[in-house]
Amino acid sequence: MTEVRFFHNAPDKLSAACRLAAAAYRHGRKVTVFAPEAGQATRFDALLWTFQPLAFVPHVLGSSPLAAETPVLIETGLERPQHLDVLINLGNEAPPAFERFSQVIEIVTSDPVDRGPARARWAFYRERGLEPEANDLSARERS
């Protein structure tokens, strides 16, 4: 059964996604970052190169010939994902066929425009018999 984890109160969705993708990679996980908007995928790709100056997270766009051997993939669609371990959703809706993944990570900022769709995604997962886990990123920032 898919594990769903929400990380709320993120100061910035893409920066939080970078930290979560890096942590999953360090733990030996394969990560698919679902960025349904092409511009968002490009921004995330650029940010992943620079967010930790002394660390490297190997990543490529899902269309790259190196996708099968790269631990972090950035996908604008999920028709044929290559990694089925961790899915980080940057979209406003629940990702298609999310149940193929071992874990789904949802990131929510404190912006009310972002919170509304996040509540709908929470309800979507609950309606499918899953019990999402809530994680407050503002508490981590203070500690």
Residue 54: per-residue pLDDT: 82
Residue 52: per-residue pLDDT: 86
**DSSP line for the chain:** --EEEEEEEES-HHHHHHHHHHHHHHTT--EEEE--SHHHHHHHHHHHHHSSTT----EEETTSTTGGG-SEEEES--SS-S--SEEEE-SSSPPTTGGGSSEEEEEEES-HHHHHHHHHHHHHHHHTT--PEEEEHHHHHH-
Percentage of residues of the chain with pLDDT beyond 90: 88
In the chain, which stretches have pLDDT less than 70?
A: 140-143
Residue 141: per-residue pLDDT: 52
pLDDT per residue as tens digits for the range 122-131: 999 999 999 9
Residue 140: per-residue pLDDT: 60
Residue 45: per-residue pLDDT: 95
Residue 143: per-residue pLDDT: 43
Q: What is the pTM of this model?
A: 0.94
Residue 44: per-residue pLDDT: 97
Residue 142: per-residue pLDDT: 47
